């Protein structure tokens, strides 16, 4: 029987993060759901005794360290990190407020590093780190400078750490969801969503459970590291972006 693993998933109270947590528990592993809001408590309770809620802001390194310490104290180990927490604030150059730019980078990029830095001492050979990217990190989209820059930075962080941690038997990969209907995309108009859907070769939105399936597979793969794995219905291929 495979050894039970302990996962830490950020942004796990809803959307892709919660779908991944649900899949992990169904597979027999344990999962810590990390999010800023109180709703993470109910999310963990829904998944049962193999789920633990931890409230923290990934942009706050002290908060993250306390959360990681709690997970390790509770379950005695930590094996898989999924950096899924994300913040989106749009605005074209000249209109994008500096505080919005900084908030997006603090959450999406620095937040991922905060989690990795705190978790790294507890990860052993066989451990895995998965960063959740975005198509916009590889192709331009007007008004998305902050989000695109943060996700492009995450791709660079992934490859640097893949090389740095390979000798320790820890894999680091980037999963790149396409257009998935979550609270983050909830602010888009129906016409905007439909326009985006038409650019997807498979002509449909993705489902959070489909992204979760790939997250689990990537985490369990032992000879893949530094890889970019699109789960986007062919969107990146249609724009000639290398995966």
Q: Which residues are catalytic?
A: 147
Question: How far is Cα 77 from Cα 123, in angstroms, rounded to an integer?
Answer: 8
No. of helices (H) and no. of strands (E), the chain: 9, 7
DSSP for residue 206: B
Question: How far is Cα 220 from Cα 34, in angstroms, rounded to an integer?
Answer: 21
Residue 84: both structure tokens together: 């899924």
Question: How far is Cα 4 from Cα 175, in angstroms, rounded to an integer?
Answer: 23
- Pairing of the two strands 228-231 and 171-177: parallel
């Amino acid at each position: 029987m495979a050894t039970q693993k302990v996962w830490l998933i950020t942004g796990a109270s809803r959307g892709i993060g919660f779908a991944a947590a649900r899949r992990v528990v169904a597979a027999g592993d344990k999962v810590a759901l990390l999010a800023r809001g109180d709703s993470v408590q109910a999310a963990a309770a829904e998944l049962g005794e193999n789920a633990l809620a931890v409230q923290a802001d990934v942009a706050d390194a002290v908060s993250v360290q306390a959360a990681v310490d709690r997970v390790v104290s509770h379950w005695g180990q930590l094996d898989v990190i999924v950096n899924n927490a994300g913040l989106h604030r749009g605005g074209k150059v000249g209109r994008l407020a500096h505080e919005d730019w900084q908030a997006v980078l603090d959450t999406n990029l620095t937040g991922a590093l905060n989690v990795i830095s705190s978790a790294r001492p507890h990860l052993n050979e066989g451990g895995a780190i998965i960063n959740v990217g975005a198509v916009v990190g590889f192709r331009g989209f007007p008004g998305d400078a902050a989000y695109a820059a943060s996700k492009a930075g995450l791709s660079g962080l992934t490859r640097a750490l893949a090389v740095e941690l390979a000798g320790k038997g820890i894999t680091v990969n980037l999963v790149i969801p396409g257009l998935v209907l979550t609270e983050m995309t909830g602010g888009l108009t129906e016409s905007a969503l439909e326009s985006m859907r038409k650019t997807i070769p498979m002509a449909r939105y993705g489902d959070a459970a489909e992204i979760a399936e790939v997250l689990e597979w990537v985490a369990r793969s032992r000879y893949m590291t530094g890889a970019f794995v699109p789960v986007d219905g062919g969107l990146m291929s249609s724009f000639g972006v290398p995966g």
